[in-house]
Structures are given as structure tokens and as C-alpha cells.
């Protein structure tokens, strides 16, 4: 609740003057929580560019300015004796019932009173949940309350955990994924009032400004977040007004924050604010590369493989417009300073070197195992995009079909499958530099026709079947410590499904369960610490139910291709899921219908002009194993101008194979 003085004519004039240079960015989502005791008035609400406000009361106690909505709240039990303001359409529930100094209600008390809260909702209006002081997911109060299925239309959340955008985004997304309801963030700021009094300068103004701009842009673009409201701490860099009644630096930042206003702004918001689409997408791999970077040696020697790897890393780094700030926020000042020093000493050389090395950089594609007629294969077929030719690498130790594969940190992983009717727990890894295979610890659950995706330092294994029984189990291999971890089961069992990773999320689609082909899709939000914190959420259904399909991802797109939908007929369609819009669409059709193929995606970088390429290798056309290799080229948006090209055929026709792509 804000540190504002009693309204007066000259203070109102000052407030208006202080905001004269602030762009008007009023959105239907942006609001503020301000208590009447702090002396706010209509002028100050106008200065903040908000479209709604609330005041921990049932009535506004001021003249509500035109274009601004007041939202009443049953903050405490005593408010049940009064009626909300006329003309309101939403009502907020109890304020922090888990806090002794706020509503202070037990779960049973709140549930007993809840019908009275429901009765106060205006006809046709909507009701928000109680808002917690503690964590609504890991705390005990809110999960117990929600287990009783009380009537409500949206979840209200409070958040005070610092000025790190990635923490805010992670926590808020966790609430959305857990409860699957629209969300209002009715209080948020880096610090509570008490924390601000104890450590008023814990966060710099620059950090708070960056936090505001980034999380506001993210919330504006999130379809599940309906509204948000800053909470004024009365002091420190969280307060909205200074001692004279003028907008503070924080107030000006909040007033100016909003959705991106241009295509470039939207790209920046997507790349720097939405963890599912940018920073998280590269975080682990770039950190891993930066930790091992020896730029001066590579520049001096111009060693092709190492230089290309570093050039690609820097190409990705340089393409992120807010990277310097993000490094400070996400990886600490030490990493940022090291990178800044490196950039100062070698930046111009890198910028000159990147284009030439980038032209030389090519991905290597691998098709592993599979089946030819009735024979399981151990072959490892390698397609070199630079030479446009195939060659055989050392075979896998284990022949198998319906296995799954992934590439992580320069190594290939092949998981599960079937050999002569036996379902396998086998996991093997190929070290490309050394040119040899090694056996890894067995999976806890034997499975074939599973889906595999790599994310962070883990290889995730999802679904599949065991003796014709579809599985819902999910496990992951920690590739650094070589041990397996059991995850929460998928929302449904899936045999012969497909999976891919994008932006730090795992997407799994299609398959078969209980004899039915599936169009459903789920998303796993990994935790890089405890496996118990990995969370599943449901996604919109694909247009086409199918099994034996294959997936790839790039930019903001997840692609699902081929498979079959019964009748022994292979499919040629490719459907695209837009992870930002949460919508599916038909993209195009493959020249060759097939199931059980390998699909791999390659986009050199997300810079303008870099095409997206989707490679399709092998598969089964309903008649037998195929040696066909095809490539789909799309514009950098991942949608426009689809063009197909036929590539040299595989050395050995195969289907039910694994695949992976390595970029050097």
C-alpha cells in the first residue's frame, strides 16, 4: 500500500506534471492496490495509467475516475456484513487468510464462510479465490482449500520474492499449471512493506525498472493472466510516489510499462521476457559453452570445429537484444562481467568472424537403429549437411526397433526399444569426438515406442508401452551424474507418442491409449533441481489424432508430422503448435506419407533471414521401410513459404528408429 500524501491541488498538479513525459500505456490488465488511508486520489490513479484498482475494501471511498474500474474485496470476515459497491462485476476473496495479521482464517473457517462470499458476487459477475501470503502451490493452506472445490472463477496471487524476472515468471506459471484457472496477481513487488523497511536499498532502481518492464510485458502477453496490480511498499524502490506526491522512478516505470508496441518490441519481449521461448531455451547450453570458452585460442588457431561451435554460441548471444541485462539478472554479475570483458577484448573480431564461420557451420544428422522388414538394426547413419552425403558410424551395441534418441552436449543418446520381442531398459551413449559407444545405467522402466527429449542436463523419457500396455510413467537421466530420476506421471498413458523440447519445456503429443488414437497434447515444465517439482499441464488438442507421429521444434513453433490414424494409412500432414498463441494449425503436407520416421529441426539462429529447416528421414509408408530423406524449408518465422527438397536417400531403409541433430 503506497506511500502517498493527502491529496491537494498543488500535489495533483505536481503529479500530473511529473507524468507528462510518461507514455500512456493503459491496458485492460494493469491495475494497482492502494489503500484510502494513504491518500490516493483520482489524479494519482490516472498518473499510473491503470485501468482498475482495489483498496482492500468493498467500496472505493473516492470518486472513481472515468475509464478506471473499482474491484471490491471481502478482505476479512467482518466485511461480510456489508455489500460491495454498485456496478461492480468482479469480487475478490479473503486477503491472506494464512497470515495472522490479515484475514487470519483456518481452511475450515474459510470454507464455512465461503458461501456468504459467493452470495455477494453481482449477478453475472466473477469471483476470485483467497489470496495467500504463502506459496499457493507448496504451502498447505491453499491446496487444502482448493481440494474442497469451492466456487470461484479465477485465482488471486500475491508475490514478493525479489526483482528477478525469471523467478516471478517461474512461480506464476507454476500456479497456472497447477490450478488450470485464469489468474490475477493482486499484489506484486520485489519486497513487502516489512522487507522494504528492513532493507530499503536491497534492489537498485535499475533492477526494479528492468523487473517491471519485463514481467509486465510477459503478463500482458500471457493468455491465462487476466489482471495484475503493483503493491506500493511506502518506501524503498518499490514505492510509486515520492514524498512530494510525484511519481517516483518506479511509478514512472510502472506507468510506462505495457505490451510491446512493435514487431521489434514483440521480438524482444519474446526473447528476453518469456522464459519458455528464449532465455531458458539457451540458458543451460550457453552457460555450458561459456564456462568452457577459450576464444583467444580459437581465434588464433582458427580451428574449424571449435571456432564454429564458439561462433554459433556468440551468434546466438549477439542475436538477443537484451542479453547483457539478462546475464546480470539470470547468471550473476560475475558471469556478466566476464562476458563483458571478453566482448571488449574480442568483440570486433568475433563480429567479423561470425559471418564466415556461420556460413561454414553445418548440422550433423543421425538416424539410429530401427527396423528393416523383421530385422532390428544397430546401424548409426550420419548425414553431413555440408557434403550432402551419408556415412555409417560405429554401430550401437544393441540392435533395436522403436527406440528413441536425443542429442545433448555433443553426445547422442539412444533409449529403450524392442529386440526380438523383448522390451528394453537399455540406454547407450555415443561420444562423437571419441567415435565410440558406451552403456549407461538401465532405465527404471523398460519401454518401447516412447518419446524422448533433451532439456538442460537431462534426457527425458516419456510414455511408450510395455507388453502392449501403454505407459504414463516419465523418467529422466541426469547426464552429468548418470543416474535416473522418476517424475510425476503424464496426465494420460501414451504409446507411440512423439516429443520435443522448446524453450525449457517438454512437449508430448499424440499416441494411443486404451485402443484410441490420441489428439491430446501435454507440456512438462521441468525443474532442474528436484524431480518432484516438475509439473505437467494440458495443452489444446491437435487437429488430428494419430500415433507413430514425429515432432520437431524451432523458434516459437512445435511441429508434429506424419503417423497414422487407423486403416493402415500413413499420414502426410504436418501440424504446427504456436507456443505463444496456444493454437494449432495445419502447416503443410510431406511429399511422402509415413509413420515411425525421424524428424529433426535446424535453424542456425533466430536472427532475421535465417531459415527454418525440418528434416524427415526414413519411416514406413504402409508397404515397408523407406530410405526417403526430405527437407522442408520455412522462412525465419517458421510458417511462411514452405518449400520441399529431396535429399540423398539413407544407406539403409528403416523405420521405428531414433534420431538426433548435432550442430558444430
Each residue's pLDDT tens digit, 343-364: 445 544 444 444 444 444 568 8
Give dist(CA 514, CA 499) in Å, integer. Answer: 20
pLDDT in tens, 178-233: 999 999 999 999 888 777 777 777 788 888 988 998 899 889 889 899 999 998 76
Confidence of residue 331 (pLDDT cuts 50, 70, 90): very low
The pLDDT, as a whole number, for residue 135 is 92
d(CA 334, CA 343): 14
pLDDT band at 168 (very low <50, low <70, confident <90, very high): very high
pLDDT in the model for residue 291: 44
Give me the pLDDT at residue 263, please.
35
Calpha distance 56→33 (Å, rounded):
8
pLDDT value of residue 567: 75
The one-character DSSP state at 648 is P
Give the three-state DSSP class for 117.
helix
Average pLDDT, whole number, for the chain?
A: 82
pLDDT at position 282 is 45
Tell me if residue 30 falls in helix, strand or coil. Answer: strand
Return the ∠ at Cα 584 (arms to 583 and 585), rounded to 5°. Answer: 125
DSSP state of 237: G
- Tell me whether residue 391 is exposed, middle or buried, using C-beta atoms within 10 angstroms of its C-beta: 0 to 12, 13 to 18, 19 or more: exposed
- pLDDT tens-digit readout, 121-146: 988 899 999 999 999 998 999 999 99
Contact status, residue 342 vs residue 627, Cβ threshold 8 Å = no
- Tell me the per-residue pLDDT of 231-253, one tens digit each, with 9 for 90 and over: 876 666 778 888 777 888 899 99
Predicted pLDDT at 259: 75
Cβ-Cβ contacts under 8 Å for 58 (sequence gap 6 or more):
72, 73, 74, 79, 82, 83, 84, 85
| Most confidently modeled range among 25-29, 298-302, 334-338 | 25-29
Ordered DSSP codes for 140-168 = SHHHHHHHT----SBEEEEE-S-S-HHHH
Which residues are CB-neighbours of 421 under 8 A, at least 6 positions away? Answer: none
Task: Give residue 276's pLDDT.
Answer: 38
Q: How many CB atoms lie within 10 A of CB 531?
A: 18
pLDDT at 260: 54
Instruction: Kindly report the backbone phi and psi dihedral angles of residue 576, in degrees, each rounded to the nearest multiple of 5, phi listed first.
Output: -120, 130
Per-residue buried b or exposed e for 158-172, using 16+ beta carbons within 10 Å of the residue's own CB: bbbebbbbbbbbbeb
State percent of the chain over pLDDT 90.
55
Confidence of residue 521 (pLDDT cuts 50, 70, 90): very high
Spatial distance between the Cα atoms of 417 and 369, rounded to a whole number of angstroms: 9
At 418 the pLDDT is 96
Q: For 566-602, how does the pLDDT look when each residue is reduced to its tens digit (9 = 90+)?
A: 877 899 999 999 988 888 999 999 999 999 999 888 7
Domain annotation for the chain: domains and CATH numbers: 9-259 (3.20.20.80), 279-360 (no CATH), 363-663 (2.120.10.80)
In this prediction, residues 455-477 reach a mean pLDDT of: 95
How far apart CA 463 and CA 558 sit, in angstroms, is 19
Give the least confident one: 284-288, 501-505, 557-561: 284-288
CA–CA gap between residue 103 and residue 84 (Å, rounded)? 18
Q: Are 472 and 460 in contact (CB under 8 A)?
A: no
pLDDT band at 425 (very low <50, low <70, confident <90, very high): very high
**Of 320, 296, 315, 305, nearest in space to 355 by CA:** 315
Classify strands 371-372 and 380-384 as parallel, antiparallel or unpaired: unpaired
Residue 663 φ then ψ, to 5°: -110, 130
Residue 650 and residue 629 in contact, taking contact as beta carbons nearer than 8 Å: yes
pLDDT reported for residue 409: 87
Task: Give 483's strand partners.
Answer: 478
The pLDDT value given to residue 607 = 45
**Residue-by-residue DSSP string for 453-517:** EEETTEEEEE--EETTEE---EEEEETTTTEEEE-PPPSS--BS-EEEEETTEEEEE--EETTEE
Question: What confidence tens digit (pLDDT) does each residue in 280-305 have?
Answer: 444 444 544 444 444 444 444 444 44
CA–CA separation, 3 and 233 (whole Å): 7
Q: How far apart are CA 256 and CA 23, in angstroms?
A: 6
- Condensed to tens digits (0 to 9), the pLDDT of residues 614-635 reads 999 999 998 999 999 999 999 9
**For residue 51, pLDDT beyond 50:** yes
Q: What is the pLDDT of residue 625?
A: 95
Q: Helix or strand or coil: residue 377?
A: strand
pLDDT over threshold 90, residue 423: yes
Q: Is the pLDDT of residue 448 over 90?
A: yes
Q: What stretches of 510-611 adopt beta strand conformation (E)?
A: 512-513, 516-517, 521-525, 535-539, 550-554, 557-561, 573-578, 583-589, 598-602
- Position 221 scores a pLDDT of 86
Q: What is the pLDDT of residue 313?
A: 52
Residue 644's DSSP bridge partners are 632
Q: What mean pLDDT do residues 440-453 have?
A: 97
What is the residue-wise DSSP string for 120-135?
Answer: TSPTT-EEBPPB-SS-
Length of the chain: 664
* pLDDT for position 115: 96
Residue 422 has pLDDT above 50, yes or no: yes
Task: Please indicate whether residue 310 or residue 569 has the higher confidence score (pLDDT).
Answer: 569
Pairing of strands 557-561, 550-554: antiparallel
Is the pLDDT assigned to residue 430 strictly greater than 60? yes
Q: Which three cell numbers stand for residue 232?
A: 506500493
Instruction: Give the pLDDT confidence score for residue 261 in this predicted structure.
Output: 46
Q: Which of 58, 66, 55 is nearest to 26 (CA)?
A: 66
Amino acid at each position: 500500500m503506497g506511500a502517498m500524501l493527502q491529496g491537494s491541488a498543488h500535489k495533483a498538479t505536481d503529479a500530473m506534471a511529473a507524468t507528462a513525459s510518461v507514455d500512456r500505456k493503459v491496458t485492460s490488465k494493469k491495475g494497482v492496490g492502494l489503500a484510502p488511508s494513504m491518500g490516493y486520489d483520482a489524479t494519482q490513479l490516472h498518473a499510473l495509467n491503470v485501468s482498475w484498482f482495489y483498496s482492500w475494501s468493498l467500496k472505493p471511498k473516492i470518486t472513481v475516475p472515468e475509464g478506471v474500474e473499482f474491484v471490491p474485496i471481502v478482505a476479512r470476515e467482518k466485511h461480510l456484513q456489508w455489500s460491495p459497491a454498485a456496478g461492480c462485476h468482479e469480487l475478490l476473496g479473503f486477503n491472506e487468510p494464512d497470515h495472522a495479521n490479515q484475514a487470519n482464517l483456518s481452511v475450515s473457517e474459510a470454507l464455512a464462510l465461503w458461501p456468504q462470499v459467493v452470495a455477494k458476487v453481482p449477478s453475472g459477475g466473477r469471483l476470485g479465490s483467497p489470496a495467500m501470503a504463502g506459496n499457493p502451490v507448496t504451502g498447505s493452506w491453499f491446496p487444502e482449500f482448493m481440494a474442497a472445490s469451492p466456487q470461484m472463477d479465477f485465482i488471486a496471487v500475491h508475490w514478493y520474492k525479489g526483482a528477478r524476472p525469471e523467478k516471478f515468471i517461474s512461480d506464476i506459471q507454476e500456479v497456472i499449471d497447477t490450478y488450470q484457472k485464469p489468474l490475477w496477481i493482486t499484489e506484486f513487488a520485489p519486497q513487502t512493506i516489512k522487507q522494504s523497511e528492513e532493507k530499503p536499498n536491497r534492489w537498485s532502481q535499475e533492477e526494479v525498472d528492468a523487473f517491471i518492464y519485463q514481467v509486465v510485458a510477459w503478463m500482458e502477453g500471457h493468455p491465462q493472466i487476466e489482471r495484475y496490480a503493483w503493491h506500493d511498499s511506502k518506501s524503498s524502490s518499490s514505492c510509486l510516489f515520492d514524498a512530494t506526491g510525484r511519481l517516483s522512478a518506479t511509478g514512472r516505470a510502472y506507468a510506462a510499462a505495457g505490451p510491446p508496441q512493435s514487431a521489434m518490441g514483440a521480438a524482444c519481449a519474446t526473447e528476453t521476457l518469456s522464459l519458455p521461448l528464449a532465455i531458458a531455451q539457451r540458458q543451460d547450453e550457453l552457460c555450458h559453452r561459456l564456462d568452457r570458452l577459450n576464444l583467444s585460442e580459437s581465434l588464433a588457431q582458427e580451428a574449424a570445429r571449435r571456432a564454429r561451435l564458439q561462433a554459433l554460441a556468440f551468434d546466438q548471444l549477439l542475436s538477443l537484444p537484451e542479453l547483457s541485462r539478462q546475464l546480470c539478472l539470470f547468471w550473476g554479475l560475475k558471469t556478466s562481467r566476464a562476458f563483458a570483458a571478453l566482448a571488449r577484448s574480442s568483440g570486433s573480431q568475433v563480429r567479423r568472424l561470425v559471418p564466415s564461420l556461420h556460413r561454414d557451420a553445418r548440422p550433423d544428422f543421425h538416424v539410429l537403429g530401427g527396423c528393416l522388414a523383421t530385422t532390428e538394426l544397430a546401424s548409426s547413419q550420419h548425414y553431413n549437411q555440408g557434403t550432402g552425403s551419408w556415412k555409417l558410424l560405429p554401430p550401437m551395441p544393441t540392435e533395436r526397433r522403436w527406440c528413441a534418441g536425443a542429442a545433448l552436449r555433443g553426445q547422442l543418446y539412444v533409449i529403450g526399444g524392442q529386440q526380438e520381442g523383448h522390451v528394453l531398459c537399455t540406454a547407450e551413449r555415443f561420444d562423437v569426438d571419441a567415435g565410440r559407444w558406451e552403456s549407461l545405467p538401465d532405465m527404471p522402466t523398460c519401454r518401447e515406442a516412447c518419446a524422448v527429449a533433451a532439456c538442460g542436463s537431462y534426457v527425458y523419457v516419456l510414455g511408450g508401452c510395455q507388453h502392449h500396455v501403454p505407459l504414463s510413467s516419465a523418467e529422466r537421466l541426469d547426464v552429468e551424474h548418470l543416474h535416473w530420476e522418476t517424475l510425476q506421471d503424464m496426465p494420460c498413458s501414451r504409446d507411440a507418442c512423439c516429443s520435443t523440447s522448446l524453450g525449457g519445456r517438454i512437449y508430448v503429443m499424440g499416441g494411443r491409449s486404451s485402443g484410441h488414437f490420441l489428439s491430446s497434447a501435454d507440456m512438462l515444465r521441468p525443474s532442474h533441481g528436484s524431480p518432484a517439482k516438475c509439473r505437467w499441464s494440458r495443452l489444446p488438442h491437435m487437429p488430428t489424432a494419430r500415433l507413430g507421429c514425429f515432432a520437431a521444434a524451432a523458434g516459437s513453433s512445435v511441429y508434429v508430422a506424419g503417423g497414422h490414424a487407423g486403416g493402415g494409412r500413413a499420414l502426410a500432414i504436418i501440424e504446427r503448435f504456436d507456443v505463444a498463441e496456444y493454437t494449432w494449425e495445419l502447416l503443410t503436407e510431406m511429399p511422402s506419407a509415413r509413420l515411425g520416421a525421424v524428424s529433426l529441426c535446424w535453424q542456425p539462429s533466430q536472427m532475421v533471414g535465417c531459415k527454418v529447416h525440418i528434416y524427415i528421414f526414413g519411416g514406413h509408408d504402409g508397404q515397408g521401410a523407406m530410405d526417403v530423406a526430405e527437407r522442408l524449408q520455412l522462412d525465419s518465422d517458421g510458417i511462411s513459404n514452405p518449400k520441399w527438397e529431396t535429399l540423398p536417400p539413407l544407406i539403409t531403409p528403416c523405420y521405428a528408429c531414433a534420431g538426433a541433430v548435432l550442430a558444430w
